[in-house]
Structure 1
Amino acid sequence: MESLSDTNWDVVISGTGLQQSLLALALSRSGKNVLHVDPNDFYGAAEAAFSLQEADEWAGKNRDEPTLTPSIFAAAEVTKPATVGERGLSFPRAYSLALAPQIIHTKSELLSQLVSSKAFRQVEFLAVGSFYIFQPSSSSSSEASTQPSLSRIPSTREDVFASTAIPTRAKRSLMKFLKFVLEYDAEPQTEAWKARAGEPLVEFLASEFKLDERLRADVMTLTLSLDGAISVGAGLAAIHRHMTSMGLFGAGFAAVYPKWGGLSEVAQVGCRAGAVGGAVYMLGTGVTDVQKTEEERNLDPELPLGISLSNGISIRAKTLVQPAQLQTGGGDAVSLSRLTAIVSSDMSSVFEAMMDGAPTPAVAVVAFPPGCISTDGQESSKFPIYAMLHSSDTGECPTGQCVVYLSTLSTPTSKTILEKALSSLLAAVTDSDSERPTVLYKLSYEQTSGSSTSVNVDGAVVDLPPLPLDLAFNDAVMGQVRAAWDAVTKCDEPDGSVQYMKFEDREGAVDDDNFD
């Protein structure tokens, strides 16, 4: 077997994040010499999932506040209870906490390509159930106090008809909007919104469809907008995606979630496909230097890059695909505050099937509209807060417990706001006669995505931007992966004869699932 330095590498992929791992999947039938390295000792990069011990170690390495050198993660902190009892934490590997959980709509291009590449058989997808809005407690001198509650959002016409909480007149307005959004990108609907595409969606809902404040909040929640100020054009597209995804893979759900850690599991499937295709994998090894001088090209025009690895080995390659350096300047940079909590309850009330024949969901989404959570100093939340509740069916916690992933745009008080939101959520899911669930473990951190959203190709070096911090998978990522694949393969197959992400079954594979 040739040594690393003696091998003529077609492509070196740095990092095992989702994009790089999907690229490895796309190249797995190409016959190319692929070296896939990662400076981390785990797969998944910013999309990784950790056991409790791994999460503790990761937090220790990412606890510092942001510096002049931007980093994806910062201010990580683990908090554990002072005491544990019958309902305490299980052993560390009983957990798989996702750094960046995202739901995947059933119409997503990611799912289509996992099917066409036959990789879907290696991922178990679970249904994402209801979307809820948090309703704060209320009290007045004339009314009895009420505890906070969760209100399920109707997202289909059947939901609207069945709802007893929506007045008849408001139902008509909502039905009009749902009918409109199903065909929003066709005439004559486009005439109603194209000229207002850049305006805030919430204003459009009020003026065009006369939706009241409560129904506007319901619709805005389905967009999963991080700032609550999504535009008409983007908002209608998001609602359309949600509604047209409903029922595609089964009754009662519009999105799915990969078991055992979300996108981390998809990344590992891509890496496994790359390994089966002959790629060489090296964790704990990063790229420290890249030389692409005229002198290097003269030495071997076919291998224009001289690459130094952190283990001291120097190699040569035709192409390098690597994560882009994080750039936080510009209007597209996003920073999220995240809080992951393990609680001592299965939270079963939020995981009920939405209709007869629907699967029991493993994920539920709770939205806290802006202003409904306040700090002790009475500073209200400026942006929406989202909580993704994952049952033990996800494989991320033991039976009888639940993992809650909370996130909101970063502000000076966002960490405190998330703590308050978690406490309020637990109060909302607890009956007045029941004991409130205990928080067994908390992991808080800041996560930043750069301002760059496009692939940069500089000769033989391809830079991939970080994954967007959206709460639902953004299919623009698939375009980034395709652009990297084109940069690697375009010189080899100018006629386009190589099929991208469309593979025949390997010998011995059996297709028992009718997804094609």
Structure 2
Amino acid sequence: MDSLSDTIWDVVICGTGLQQSLLALALSRSGKNILHIDPNEYYGGPEAAFSLQEAESWVATLSDPTNQNNAGNGGVFRAASITKPEATSPALKFSRSYSLALSPQLIHSRSELLAQLVSSRAHRQIDFLAVGAFFIFKAPEDLDHKAVLTRIPSTREDVFLSKAIPVKAKRGLMKFLKFVVDYDSEPQTEAWQPHADAPLTEFLRKEFTMEAELQTYIVTLTLSLDGRISTRDGLAIIHRHLSSMGVFGPGFTAIYPKWGGISEIAQVACRACAVGGAVYMLGTGIKSMQTGYSAEMELELELTNGVTVKTRRLVQTDEPASEKVVVSRLVSIIDSPLNSLFAAVVEGAQKPAVAVIAFPSGSLKTSAGKTWEFPVYVFAHSSDTGECPVGQSILYLTTPSITGSKEVLEQAVQSFLDAVSGEQVPHGVYQLYYEHLGGPAGSRTEGQVFKFPAASPSLSFNDSTLKVVREAWKEVLNEAATGADYMAFPDREGAVYDEEMYD
């Protein structure tokens, strides 16, 4: 501990969420003195993945009003609870058979994150899995029919083969898909820019005479949390979705890291920085900070373990914006593999481990009988993700958090299971519920302190996160950042690797 106090650290990074961990990866070959701490006893922060026992400890921590570490996940979680139906709980396996992701996110194949993981050589330690089909839940027309899941076509071939879309509607959808491919060039920009801030649904209706059901298909592909995405943002996301199709193989447009999603990337990034000489301390936060006590303008930090350290720069997470974005999340372990969801979309495609199901706005009701005005998204994960035992699966559900959201998510689980059931209806054997708050849009600097925005509850990874990480990297390196390669590292001398994942 004396050596910690004796060292003048170039940077202290507090938190091991994705942003902090990517910064650690970017600095891993810099030769800087790096102290990386986390008040939690685990890696990942708001992107962590938990065993069942860890989930129970986490819920207890959030529920304890005397606990000083309730902001250990960036202060973005609240109202957590666990439910285990007594009749089915014996189906649960041992605790570490599960890895429940707090913030599951899809990564589109064209994401800059993947390019940086490759150029930094970090991708070699991550197993990526295919995200398969996107489905729309359709409620039964009457008591004689069953609810169904309809796959959303996202290529021209899919549109031609779809039996769920009328011929006339197919023409409109084909026209839109062709438009999106070059949406950001003339003359397409002239068509959408007057509608840039209007809802995407309005643009689809006016410019493509698209009916409401087909609009729902398009909006679902954006994974918009409230279904009210703007034309500008919606077109950008749809373009990314379509241009990502087939990049790493036929039939899928996004990937998901095995063993807990984004948390796996965070841990790999931290390991790379540790190999580069950084010092790591879990279960250690910052108790107090003193500024300007020396001519060098170093910071003096008193850590929660009683040690005082000096640093030239501190990087930490900002507090979440008060009530800016709040979503309700429910994680449900299912006693069935749900095999019908994880079939390859096209011949020769990789078997997917994730499927996306959307309950469109208005398709569910609250316990009081009020129509739910927001979409509910379900990420179904097979045991291939490493997040549950063989023979089971996990559902991750998300919707905006207002009165009745928990009951709506529970209703969505049952409606989904009824739709996919065969001779036997699958059951939920474990349920983790919590609310996730959003953060400010950007970073900010206060003297020697750089603050990341709180983690976003978005369902797909947004590359804007990477811009903030690079800002922090420049702050830490200062003049040394000029002309330096960012996230581009040669192989470490003497290291032996398997064959490249990407050619």
Paired with 2:366 and 2:10, the residues of 1 have a C-alpha distance of 55
**Cα distance in structure 2, aligned partners of 1:161 and 1:232:** 25
Aligned partner of 1:500 among 481, 486, 490: 486
Q: Distance in 2 between matches of 1:377 and 1:307?
A: 51
Which of 384, 405, 414 is equivalent to 2:375?
Answer: 384
Q: Which secondary structure does the structure 1 equivalent of 2:497 belong to? A: coil
Partner Cα distance (2:32, 2:86) in 1: 53
Residue 78 of structure 2: SS of its match in structure 1?
strand
Question: Structure 2 CA distance, aligned partners of 1:200 and 1:307?
Answer: 47
CA distance in 1, matches of 2:88, 2:417: 19
Partner of 2:410: 419
Corresponding residue of 1:308: 302
Distance apart, 1:498 and its partner CA: 2.0
Return the alpha-carbon distance in structure 2 between the equivalents of residues 164 and 23 of structure 1.
47
Residue 355 of structure 2 is matched in structure 1 by 364
Render the CA deviation track for 1:124-183: whole Å, top value 9, x for unaligned.
Answer: 0000000000001221xxxx6211110000011110011122121111110000000000
Counterpart amino acid of residue 258 in structure 1 = P
One-letter amino acid of the counterpart of residue 78, structure 2: A
CA contact under 8 A between 1:467 and 1:477: conserved in structure 2? no
1:98 Cα deviation after fit: 0.3
Measured in 2, the distance between the counterparts of 1:511 and 1:210 equals 51
Normalising by structure 1, we get a TM-score of 0.94
- Is the contact made by 1:227 and 1:384 (CA closer than 8 Å) also made in structure 2? yes
SS at match of 2:10: strand
Letter of the structure 1 residue corresponding to residue 310 of structure 2 = R
Shift in Å, 1:83: 3.0
Q: 2:434 is matched by which residue type in structure 1?
A: Y
TM alignment of 1:319-330, pairs within 5 A: 319-328=313-322
User: What is the identity, as a one-letter code, of the residue corresponding to 1:297?
Assistant: S
- How big is each residue's C-alpha offset from its partner over 1:286-329, in whole Å with a ceiling of 9 and x where there is no partner? 01111113xx132xx1x611111001111111100011122316
Partners of 2:22 and 2:469 within 8 A in 1: yes
The corresponding residue for 1:63 is 63
Kindly provide the amino acid, as one letter, of the partner of residue 148 in structure 1: A
Q: Which residue in the other structure is 1:410 paired with?
A: 401
Alpha-carbon distance between aligned partners in 1 of 2:339 and 2:314, rounded to the nearest angstrom? 47
- Contact 2:124 2:501 (8 Å CA) reproduced: no
Task: Decide whether the 8 Å contact of 1:64 with 1:76 is kept in 2.
Answer: no
CA distance in 1 between counterparts of 2:64 and 2:420 reads 34
Could you tell me which of 69, 75, 90 is aligned with 2:79?
A: 75
Q: Distance in 1 between matches of 2:106 and 2:229?
A: 19
Provide the rounded CA distance (Å) in 2 between the counterparts of 1:193 and 1:104: 26
SS in 2 for 1:490: helix
Q: Does 1:92 align with 2:95?
A: yes
SS of residue paired to 1:21 = helix
What corresponds to 1:115 in structure 2? 118
Q: Distance in 2 between matches of 1:287 and 1:440?
A: 39
Distance 2:64 2:356 in 1: 30
**C-alpha distance after superposition, 1:424-467 (max 9, x if no partner):** 00001012xx11111110000111012x1211112211011112
| CA deviations over 1:350-380 (Å, ceiling 9, x no partner) | 1111001101100000000111111332112
Q: How far apart, CA to CA, are the structure 1 residues paired with 2:318 and 2:164?
A: 48
Gaps of 5+ in 2: none
Aligned to 1:31: 31
Whole-angstrom distance in 1 between the partners of 2:353 and 2:498: 25
Quote the offset at 1:511 in angstroms.
5.7
Q: Within 5 A, what are the aligned runs for 1:98-497?
A: 98-139=101-142, 145-293=144-292, 296-298=293-295, 301=296, 304-328=298-322, 333-431=324-422, 434-450=423-439, 452-491=440-479, 493=480, 496-497=482-483
Cα offset, 1:469, TM superposition: 1.1
2:50 counterpart of 1:50:
yes
Give the partner amino acid of 1:313: V
Mapped to 2, the partners of 1:363 and 1:220 lie a distance apart of 19
Q: How many correspondences in the alignment? A: 496
Alpha carbons of structure 1 residues 416 and 355: separation in structure 2 relative to 1, 3 Å: same
Structure 2 CA distance for partners of 1:88 and 1:167, relative to 1, 3 Å: same
- CA distance in 1 between counterparts of 2:489 and 2:77 reads 36
Sort the Cα spacing of 1:270 and 1:363 in 2 relative to 1 into closer, same or farther, 3 A.
same
Counterpart AA for 1:308: E
Q: What is the one-letter code of the residue matched to 1:106?
A: S
Q: Deviations over 1:56-95 (max 9, x none)?
A: 1111112379xxx98311111100121347x701110000
CA distance in 2, matches of 1:75, 1:319: 34
The aligned runs of 1:7-26 (5 Å cut-off) are 7-26=7-26
Give the secondary structure class of the aligned counterpart of 2:136: strand
Q: Secondary structure at the match of 1:257?
A: strand
Once superposed, which parts of structure 1, at least 4 consecutive aligned residues long, lie more than 6 Å away? none
SS in 1 for 2:173: helix
Q: For residue 177 of structure 1, what is the amino acid of its counterpart?
A: F
Return the alpha-carbon distance in structure 2 between the equivalents of residues 116 and 428 of structure 1: 43
RMSD value, Cα: 1.7
Task: Tell me if structure 1 keeps the 8 A contact 2:367–2:404.
Answer: no
Q: Which amino acid aligns with 1:503?
A: F
CA contact (8 A) 1:137 1:146 kept: yes
Note the alpha carbon deviations across 1:112-132, whole angstroms, 9 max, x for none: 100000000010000000000
Q: Would the aligned equivalents of 2:76 and 2:455 in 1 still touch at CA under 8 Å?
A: no
Is contact 2:49-2:99 (8 Å) kept?
A: yes
TM-score for the superposition, normalised by structure 2 = 0.96
1-side partners of 2:367 and 2:303: how far apart?
50
